[in-house]
Amino acid sequence: MSQTSKIIVSLTCPNCGGQVHSEEGETLVLCKYCNSVFSLTTDEGIRKIMYRLDVTRKKAETNFYEWLKEGPKAKDLEKKAQISEAYPIYLPFWRLVGRGKACVCGIEIQKGDKDEPDRRIPHESLVNREYIYSDIACDPGDLGIAAIRIPEHAEAVEFDDESIVTFGVTESRDDAYTEGSEQIKRQAIADGKRSMDEVHFSKAFFFEKAFSLVYYPFWIIRYTFEDRAYFAVLDGITSQIISGRAPGNAGSQSTAAALGGTLSGAVLAAFIFFGFALGALEAIAILFAFGLIAAAGIIGFAYKRFRYGDEILEGAMKGKGLKRGKKQQCLETNYENTYDMFN
Ligand SMILES: [Zn+2]
């Protein structure tokens, strides 16, 4: 399940109307039909690429209902959930593909036993890898999306902002480039450190291969369950669940815990009452205070769980609740394209 390090973009030749292909990172295209050459960079000097929405509403809703059945979600959620709206949307991502090269020198320490001292083994590594960095370029609000994974063999088209609904780009290209290239350099050094316990020298370089703004399609499904609003986000090409919020089935347990807390408090109070009647005042007073604090704690914990924690959070979601799913990482290594040397 590796993501592609090479995006193929199909576009229409402005001269003859033929369908031609170009690779991400290319700025000039030669039309194989009419031999005309045309430039691809936009006004801001950045290439904009988009993917077509592949997943139909029906497919998105089917997968959404399957997701409602998974994991410890509320009982009969897939029967009781009401979809309030479902719509496709394009989100922009900065995507930086490049080579991270690093030279790292250091020492590996092999622990000796009582007769032998520690062995210090010097290592030198030269890392030369291709990395893919992606970062959401807009503020996605509470959608829980931070990065993108582009499926292999997916074909992109030149960006056409007339035809799609999208979020505006809020992160500057310079910030994205700096962040991406720094992360790649840091990762190259981290990969070079490998078995070293001490690093005495490290230096990294970044070589850009492609930098683009990728518009990727998603389905947003908003739904309600017992008068509360939830949502799910699906990949518009693979139809996988990317992120979402769902009610958990811990509600009944929390209620039980809350009742249990109240009950144990009451039992304790009764015990203390009789304790008072029987004497030993000091010990009873300490127990009383301790009992009150414990009861308040249990009730508070149960209330909080019931109030906030009783949710399933899928993907890169913030907040309280049971976290599930895999958060898409901003940085990935393309292992097919590495030329490392470890000594
Ligand atoms: Zn042409």
CA torsion 237-238-240-241 (nearest 10°) is -10
Cα(194) to ligand 1 centroid in Å equals 50
H helix and E strand count, the chain: 5, 15
pTM (2 d.p.): 0.75
Gap from CA of 12 to ligand 1 centroid (Å): 8
Digit-by-digit pLDDT tens for the chain (343 residues) are: 456 667 888 888 877 888 888 888 787 888 888 888 877 766 566 788 888 888 999 999 999 999 999 888 888 899 999 999 999 999 999 999 999 999 999 999 988 888 888 899 999 999 999 999 999 999 888 888 888 888 877 778 877 777 777 888 888 889 999 999 999 999 999 999 988 999 999 999 999 998 989 999 999 999 999 999 999 999 999 999 999 999 988 654 555 555 556 666 666 666 666 666 666 667 667 777 777 777 777 666 665 555 444 788 888 777 777 787 777 778 988 887 778 888 8
Q: In the prediction, which pLDDT does 94 show?
A: 94
pLDDT at 28: 82
CA of 153 to the centre of ligand 1 (A): 24
Q: How far is the CA of 46 from the centre of ligand 1 (A)?
A: 23
**pLDDT (0 to 100) of residue 96:** 93
CA of 325 to the centre of ligand 1 (A): 45
pLDDT at 142: 82
Phi-psi region of 221 (alpha: psi -120 to 50; beta: other; left: phi over 0): beta
**Separation of 39 CA from ligand 1 center, angstroms?**
13
How far is Cα 150 from Cα 228, in angstroms, rounded to an integer?
33
Q: How far is the CA of 30 from the centre of ligand 1 (A)?
A: 8
Q: Where are the alpha helices (DSSP H) in the chain?
A: 57-69, 77-80, 173-193, 251-278, 281-304
Distance 152 CA to ligand 1 centre (A): 27
* Distance from the alpha carbon of residue 209 to the mean position of ligand 1, in angstroms: 26
The secondary structure of 222-291 as a DSSP string is EEEETTEEEEEEEETTT--EEEEEEEBSTHHHHHHHHHHHHHHHHHHHHHHHHHHHH--HHHHHHHHHHH
- Per the CB < 8 A criterion, the answer to whether 243 and 145 are in contact is yes
Q: Would you state the pLDDT for residue 339?
A: 83
Q: How far away, in angstroms, is 161 Cα from ligand 1 center?
A: 23
285 Cα: distance to centroid of ligand 1 (angstroms): 91
Give the Å distance between the CA of 19 and the centre of ligand 1: 8
Compute the distance from residue 90 Cα to the ligand 1 centre, in Å: 29
| Rounded distance from Cα 237 to ligand 1 centre (Å) | 29
